[in-house]
Structure 1
Amino acid sequence: MAKRSTNVVPLAAVKPVQFGQALSERYLSYALSTIMSRSLPDVRDGLKPVHRRLLYAMRQLRLDPNSAFKKSARVVGDVIGQYHPHGDQSIYDALVRLAQEFSVRYPLIEGQGNFGNIDGDNPAAMRYTEARLTEVAEALLAGIDENAVDFRPNYDGSTEEPIVLPGGFPNLLANGAAGIAVGMATSIPPHNAGELCDALQHLIRTPNARIETLVDLVKGPDFPTGGLLVEPRESIVEAYKTGRGAFRLRARWIKEDLPRGQYRIIVTEIPYQVQKGKLIERIAEIINAKKLPILEDVRDESADDVRVVLEPRTGNVPAELLMEQLFKLTDLEIRFPLNLNVLDKDNTPRVMDLRQALQAFLDHRREVLIRRSTFRLAEIERRLEILDGYLIAYLNLDELIKIIREEDEPKPVMIRTFGLTDLQAEAILNMRLRALRRLEEFEIKGEHKKLSAERKELKALLKEEKLQWQAISAEIQEIKAKFGQKTKIGKRRTELADAPAEIEHSVEDFVEREPVTVILSEKGWIRAAKGHLDEKATGELKYKEGDGPKFTLHAQSTDKILVFGTNGRFYTLGCDRLPSARGHGEPIRLMIELGNEQDIVQLEVLKGGRKFLVASDAGRGFVVPEDEVVAQTKNGKQILNLADKERAVALSIVPEGADSVAALSEGRKLLIFPLEQVPEMGRGRGVLLQKSKADQLSDAQAFVLGDGLPWGNRVIAASELKFWRGERAQAGRLPEKGWPRAKRFKG
């Protein structure tokens, strides 16, 4: 049986601390760790710690671009074991992303195997895939063995890791970055490396260059998936000035003409970080929901390239109009944010503008150049010292050989006799006999002369800042030659274009006009049947069990339907977007924001120019113009204001020439009064139409008194209504025997 631990913390060691203070200190530590070690990239090499450790571990494994691939699992294991003690899946995800050509503009890792695809499919497990570094990563690591950067102990002190990479490639802006820290975030789109090199060269020549001039060179983001950047130049300049903004990015598409005036649209490039599979699913949902009736079908014909085919219903619809609608409804158009929030050389998070980010890269390159040059100069000094010793040895070869053969400790004697340094004496003693040939002496003199010239250049370089910037400029020119616009990888992929002008026509202008019958069931299922169905045909329609017809309306496919709810709101639905009558339809509550506790009072075809009489069960109402009730969103438009527990119960079209209002209560009391006593309003509670303490209003309608009162299947003549005529807000009287017994005037 295991013994219980006897380690007890002495009471004297326990110190009382305010909970708020302890929580604040610990949360601050967590926030700083998240900001500095996980989420924000370093402005100098553009990398987060996990990416930096991945590249350095792969270099230690000698996975350069010309070497053989190694299993990703081996790389992940080394990263976990030596530098980044976190979950293997998170590290593998970071490795995969650096190898995906559709995720990273200039991949830092070359992958072999299944590394996922633009559809959003996952990569294969790390035991199956293989990886090695690319030339871009090699440029980032160049000089790391030449004291170019500082190192620090790894997490367990067993080895060292670089604090930052030498960064010979402008990785921060070229590949971008994204991350969410505590209280801050970063979002940097990728850019074209050749354009960045041009901007860096200009900044070297003109340190105080204006942002506008730099934007002439760095025209905007350059995404790996291409697309069209349709953001105005003024907005781009403002974003780069402040370090914050957004870029409007659209898919690239072409129109393919077909016989008989038909065509189809081919999407060849989609916006950055949009998964093609989900994009096509979204377009299919729009087609099924009839949100875009002019689009008939979508299919994916992609292979290695992107090819999404869109089939319109008719060739009469302009392709530009169809695409404008899709840009609004789907991720075929996105806004990619810019938040240039990075860690500067002092590990302080800050938002930089374009010039500051470029200048930070140049300053880092200058520091790396000085450190590498100093390192190289020290190596040259050491080598020249050894070569000087060799030359002394050749001049005194016989005497040296004699000392070495006869002396027990030849090294001190050599130093004393020929004035050698300890390093020179050690180098001479380690020489091979074959190096004593005459030819070797000439080679040493040639090497000495070459190194002496290089030493002179390095000393001049370290002394003069102008020469340093010339050297950095030459390095940037080499990067441009390798990865610039004239290379396959460096050619700009995202084209800059002007946002198209507003199209005068709307989608509705191209919906084919045909008669339809709108059917709404008792349980709120709505559908549209082709043609104007008569009562017999309508009665043959099938409904769900326990359901039946409630409203039937003849309309055109181009019409809008007004829906008046018991909550006093009007909603607007397009007939072209209603589901087919082949099935049971769809719940109307999915199309409008109508609560389950509410119901539909009336459906009407929107014609415009008419007036409606609306009323609540509290007996209050008013006249509202039809044009005032049209809603633009599924939330509807509140017209009739209601008190608690009140419900809207009546909507009546005010016919031309109407002069009277008939109000009918639940207790079947009828009141007729002049229409002029009812005000016309755009919104409100209205006035009291019929007064009753215990009774509620059941229905109200406006009519022409001389034509009689329509009630059910009967029209009651004006001469028969004298007894029920009165003033607004009276209680009314019960109808005569033989009159309709329905509590509503219609149906």
Structure 2
Amino acid sequence: MSTLATAADNKTRKKQGASGGGGNGAAAAAGGSGGDGTVPAALADEARRRYLNYALSVITSRALPDVRDGLKPVQRRILYGMWNDLNLSHDAKYKKCAQVVGAIMGPYHPHGDASIYEALVRMAQDFSLRYPLVDGHGNFGSLDGDAAAAYRYTECRLEKISGELLNELEQKTVDFRPNYDGTRTEPIVLPARVPHLLMNGTTGIAVGMATNIPPHHLGELCDALTALVEDNTLTTKQLLKWVKGPDFPTGGEILNSQKELQDIYESGQGSVRLRGEYTLEELKRGGQQIVITSIPYTVNKSTLVAKMGEIVRDRKLPLVLDVRDESTKDVRIVLELKKEASHELVMAYLYKNTPLQTNFNVNLTCLVPNPENPDVGMPRRLGLKEVLQYFLDFRLEVVKRRLQHQLDELKKRVHILEGFEKVYDALDEMIRIIRQSEGKQDAAKKLMARFKLDEVQVDAILEMKLYKLARLEILVVQNELKEKRAQIKNLEALLKSSTRLWGMVKDELGEVKAAYATGKRRTKVSRGGAEEMVFDAEALIADEDAHVVITRDGWIKRMREVKDPSATRLREGDAVMAVLAGSLKANLVLFTNFGTAYVTRFNDVPASTGYGDPVQKLFKFDDGERVVGALSLDGRLWRPEKLLGITRQGQGMRFPLAPHLEVSTRAGRRYAKTGEGDEIVGVQPVEDKDLVGVLTERTSVLVCKVAEINELAGPGKGVSVIKVESGDRVVDFIVAPPGNKDAGIGFETQKGRKLALTPGRSEVTGRGGKGHEMSRKDGVKEVLRAPLFVPLPEPKKD
């Protein structure tokens, strides 16, 4: 638990003690604190206190990095333990990760081995960190999402660049604090010479806040820091002259404009649009293939390839013949194209429909120094300039403390040399005093009295070897004393000069850049913002005709050609309800019994020569919802302006087709409302002059004019077409022009009679009546209706 959390805990406990238990004062006064020393406390206060402690602990001691060294506590402890306890520098022999994890978990990080090893593995992955801090030997995972091997199999040591975070620890450049059990100390922050927070970035989720910092190119950061040392009035906009943008270890291309990046770096938050890169390769047999050479940061390569393969397998991208992952150390995903296929169209589709283009949500939240409590930082969201300025201020403090340490060490040495200088002028007397003394302590007292020395000087003289009494050695001491005094004078002058101190900071940044920032940027950034490919779904659809088959039980499939609907493959007991013809680029609309219309493209219906797919796979149907009407919206077919729906309880609603021409969402669009326990029997196109004949289960029929049924302006319940008696219900209806004596629906009754409802031959009455029975005390056993099938017109011959 952090010191800040502990302070809050103690403060709350004091309040509870003073008030008799925070809300339970009366009980405390009456009953005291109890024989076991406990103090009564209100549950709400205690829960609040404990959650606050937990939240503060997560924020300050686990999830957020420090702005100075850019490390979370677990990362800092791993590096310190490897360097201080195990001596695993970059040129040391590898050691088992299990040994490293144990060395960190025991004295520094008692949170379990899994969290330590996970952090260790990430610091060794060159696809996770722009500049890895751990040199891993063995299986440390891959871009395909493969997990690292168990820590008993892997080995590690520090990378050379990690030394830039640790080398100055021995020079008292940073403060230390007790570890969790007080048996040893650990650094509060590492004296980093590299701007690690932005160099490698980090991600973390705390309580009520999070951080997500992208990695950057070290050379650009060093240049920006140098410029800021020379002119601390530079703005974030001006610093972007050097910091071009994030530089992800997996490469890619940033699509944001310069203005968008400026807003992100000024506010400390925003979204970076990132996409993978690709090249084109000519094939010997003709044609081209796309080779994807980089993928966005944190994207799982195997998942990406699997998604592409699924798209090709489902024929959603007909321009691609095959997808292969030929990656070794470098990313190489090959997409084989059809001849004369547009690679730009293919990539636009992949960028839109796969993780090949993603967003990295920047959040520059970190811990900044707390003047009131140096052991615990304060969380803040910073801009680019603030992050760089905090690092520079920290580096200046580290340089001062390093120089002060060197000055103190020099003064200690000079102090001893001055003691040597005093006794070298009277060597014989010094030797005589030592020989006549009773022991070391007696000799020390006599020398201190005779030559006016202190304990440190006398101790050094008594431990001095005899050969140091030679004349040449005396000269060496005198020369060293002269040299050390000159160094002290120089360091004292240096510590008093702010200009020279900043010059040292700048020089060290130059050394870091020269040593480690040798490679070029991996992520491309366009100053004007890269041109985003616009995906045109129509361009991917072939210009050819197809048929969509919809069955009574709710199965749907797309076929190239349907000559005989009865010959298509169906599940046992199922039947074809409708066959819709149209271009792959045209739309079709399905109407359901619950008053919802679903519009999709012919091309979006899965092609199949089998049973097809449940219609619920394409749309979000409710329980019990089913298709009762369908219509092709191909421009070559007659398109009605209005449609008619009839419900089981005899309600009719006329509604326009216009709102249902464009592709809908999976939830569809409402075209009608049904009463409780009611549902729509079917939907058919109508014209104002048409007649409608309604058939009930008890063979009651009613024929009326369509014009008598009011047209709905929006989804509604409609008007009564036929009065349905209790226990009866509408089973079907037919729409036909007046005078047409052929259009009708046949049905078979329970008594075996075969009858037909033909509006053109029936008496036309007003809507809202009971109609008349076609077969007394009988019922409809089965409606004999042929599947709806309207073929496309034959193309005109020249």
Alpha-carbon distance, 1:111 to partner:
0.5
Does 2:507 correspond to 1:477? no
Supply the distance in 1 between the matched residues of 2:577 and 2:705 (Cα, whole angstroms).
Answer: 31
Map of 2:434 onto structure 1: 404
Supply the distance in 2 between the matched residues of 1:508 and 1:433 (Cα, whole angstroms).
Answer: 96
Residues 632/436 of structure 1: CA separation in 2 closer, same or farther (3 Å cut): farther
Alpha-carbon distance, 1:287 to partner:
3.1
Does 2:145 correspond to 1:120? yes
Alpha-carbon distance, 1:116 to partner:
0.6
Alpha-carbon distance, 1:446 to partner:
3.9
3-state SS of 1:144 partner: helix
Does 2:676 correspond to 1:649? no
- TM-score norm. by structure 1 comes to 0.90
Q: 1:434 aligns with which of 434, 456, 467?
A: 467
Q: 1:364 aligns with which of 369, 385, 394?
A: 394
Map of 2:273 onto structure 1: 248
**Runs of 5+ unmatched residues, structure 1:** 1-8
Alpha-carbon distance, 1:528 to partner:
2.1
Map of 2:547 onto structure 1: 517
Map of 1:109 onto structure 2: 134
Supply the distance in 2 between the matched residues of 1:68 and 1:423 (Cα, whole angstroms).
Answer: 40
**Runs of 5+ unmatched residues, structure 2:** 1-32, 371-376, 748-754, 788-798
Amino acid at match of 2:437: E
Alpha-carbon distance, 1:556 to partner:
3.5
Alpha-carbon distance, 1:741 to partner:
9.3
Alpha-carbon distance, 1:730 to partner:
4.3
Map of 1:228 onto structure 2: 253
Supply the distance in 2 between the matched residues of 1:641 and 1:720 (Cα, whole angstroms).
Answer: 27
Supply the distance in 2 between the matched residues of 1:308 and 1:447 (Cα, whole angstroms).
Answer: 66
Map of 1:454 onto structure 2: 487
Alpha-carbon distance, 1:729 to partner:
4.1
Are the counterparts in 1 of residues 365 and 380 from structure 2 also a CA contact under 8 Å? yes
Supply the distance in 2 between the matched residues of 1:163 and 1:410 (Cα, whole angstroms).
Answer: 44
Map of 1:134 onto structure 2: 159
Are the counterparts in 2 of residues 557 and 575 from structure 1 also a CA contact under 8 Å? yes
Map of 1:634 onto structure 2: 666
Does 2:405 correspond to 1:375? yes
Alpha-carbon distance, 1:661 to partner:
3.4
Sequence identity percentage: 36
Q: 1:561 aligns with which of 574, 584, 588?
A: 588
Residues 46/719 of structure 1: CA separation in 2 closer, same or farther (3 Å cut): closer
Are the counterparts in 1 of residues 646 and 733 from structure 2 also a CA contact under 8 Å? no
Supply the distance in 1 between the matched residues of 2:714 and 2:159 (Cα, whole angstroms).
Answer: 67
Amino acid at match of 1:399: E
Superposition pairs of residues 527-566 of structure 1, within 5 angstroms: 527-530=557-560, 532-535=561-564, 538-566=565-593
Q: Which moved more, 1:543-552 or 1:20-29?
A: 543-552
Q: Which moved more, 1:384-393 or 1:219-228?
A: 384-393
Residues 90/256 of structure 1: CA separation in 2 closer, same or farther (3 Å cut): same
Supply the distance in 2 between the matched residues of 1:720 and 1:145 (Cα, whole angstroms).
Answer: 102
Map of 2:716 onto structure 1: 685
Map of 1:283 onto structure 2: 308
Residues 429/629 of structure 1: CA separation in 2 closer, same or farther (3 Å cut): same
3-state SS of 1:82 partner: coil
Q: 2:690 aligns with which of 649, 657, 660?
A: 660
Query: How many correspondences in the alignment?
Result: 725
Map of 1:415 onto structure 2: 448
3-state SS of 1:705 partner: coil
3-state SS of 2:281 partner: strand
Are the counterparts in 2 of residues 65 and 134 from structure 1 also a CA contact under 8 Å? yes
Supply the distance in 2 between the matched residues of 1:730 and 1:546 (Cα, whole angstroms).
Answer: 36
Q: Which moved more, 1:203-212 or 1:180-189?
A: 203-212
Map of 2:556 onto structure 1: 526
Alpha-carbon distance, 1:512 to partner:
2.4
Are the counterparts in 2 of residues 669 and 733 from structure 1 also a CA contact under 8 Å? yes
Supply the distance in 1 between the matched residues of 2:209 and 2:116 (Cα, whole angstroms).
Answer: 23
Map of 2:634 onto structure 1: 607
Alpha-carbon distance, 1:705 to partner:
2.4
Supply the distance in 2 between the matched residues of 1:259 and 1:665 (Cα, whole angstroms).
Answer: 68
Alpha-carbon distance, 1:442 to partner:
4.2
Alpha-carbon distance, 1:231 to partner:
1.4
Map of 2:105 onto structure 1: 80
Map of 1:169 onto structure 2: 194
CA RMSD of aligned residues (A): 2.9
Alpha-carbon distance, 1:717 to partner:
13
Alpha-carbon distance, 1:12 to partner:
5.9
Supply the distance in 2 between the matched residues of 1:264 and 1:446 (Cα, whole angstroms).
Answer: 75
1:5-24: CA deviations, max 9, x gaps?
Answer: xxxx9646343211111111
Q: 2:183 aligns with which of 158, 165, 176?
A: 158
Amino acid at match of 2:421: L
Amino acid at match of 1:534: K
Does 2:521 correspond to 1:496? no
Q: 2:612 aligns with which of 585, 589, 592?
A: 585
Alpha-carbon distance, 1:701 to partner:
5.3
Superposition pairs of residues 48-59 of structure 1, within 5 angstroms: 48-59=72-83
Supply the distance in 2 between the matched residues of 1:648 and 1:351 (Cα, whole angstroms).
Answer: 57
Map of 1:267 onto structure 2: 292
Supply the distance in 2 between the matched residues of 1:356 and 1:742 (Cα, whole angstroms).
Answer: 79
Supply the distance in 1 between the matched residues of 2:734 and 2:531 (Cα, whole angstroms).
Answer: 49
Residues 719/158 of structure 1: CA separation in 2 closer, same or farther (3 Å cut): closer
Q: Which runs of 4+ in 1 moved over 6 A?
A: 716-720
Residues 264/606 of structure 1: CA separation in 2 closer, same or farther (3 Å cut): farther
Alpha-carbon distance, 1:448 to partner:
3.0
Alpha-carbon distance, 1:581 to partner:
2.7
Amino acid at match of 1:222: D
Alpha-carbon distance, 1:462 to partner:
2.1
Are the counterparts in 2 of residues 322 and 507 from structure 1 also a CA contact under 8 Å? no
- TM-score norm. by structure 2 comes to 0.85
Residues 218/731 of structure 1: CA separation in 2 closer, same or farther (3 Å cut): farther
Does 2:350 correspond to 1:319? no
Supply the distance in 2 between the matched residues of 1:600 and 1:607 (Cα, whole angstroms).
Answer: 20
Amino acid at match of 1:507: A
Are the counterparts in 2 of residues 196 and 218 from structure 1 also a CA contact under 8 Å? yes
Q: 1:45 aligns with which of 69, 75, 79?
A: 69
Supply the distance in 1 between the matched residues of 2:259 and 2:711 (Cα, whole angstroms).
Answer: 48
Residues 483/614 of structure 1: CA separation in 2 closer, same or farther (3 Å cut): farther
Alpha-carbon distance, 1:342 to partner:
1.2
Supply the distance in 1 between the matched residues of 2:76 and 2:407 (Cα, whole angstroms).
Answer: 28
Map of 2:6 onto structure 1: none
Supply the distance in 1 between the matched residues of 2:268 and 2:404 (Cα, whole angstroms).
Answer: 35
Are the counterparts in 2 of residues 192 and 222 from structure 1 also a CA contact under 8 Å? yes
Map of 2:357 onto structure 1: 333
Map of 1:306 onto structure 2: 331
Supply the distance in 1 between the matched residues of 2:316 and 2:696 (Cα, whole angstroms).
Answer: 40
Alpha-carbon distance, 1:335 to partner:
0.7
3-state SS of 1:724 partner: coil
Residues 15/195 of structure 1: CA separation in 2 closer, same or farther (3 Å cut): same
Alpha-carbon distance, 1:280 to partner:
1.6
Are the counterparts in 2 of residues 641 and 683 from structure 1 also a CA contact under 8 Å? no
Alpha-carbon distance, 1:583 to partner:
3.2
Supply the distance in 2 between the matched residues of 1:744 and 1:204 (Cα, whole angstroms).
Answer: 89
Map of 1:725 onto structure 2: 764
Alpha-carbon distance, 1:127 to partner:
1.0
Supply the distance in 2 between the matched residues of 1:422 and 1:717 (Cα, whole angstroms).
Answer: 126
Residues 502/276 of structure 1: CA separation in 2 closer, same or farther (3 Å cut): closer
Amino acid at match of 1:426: D
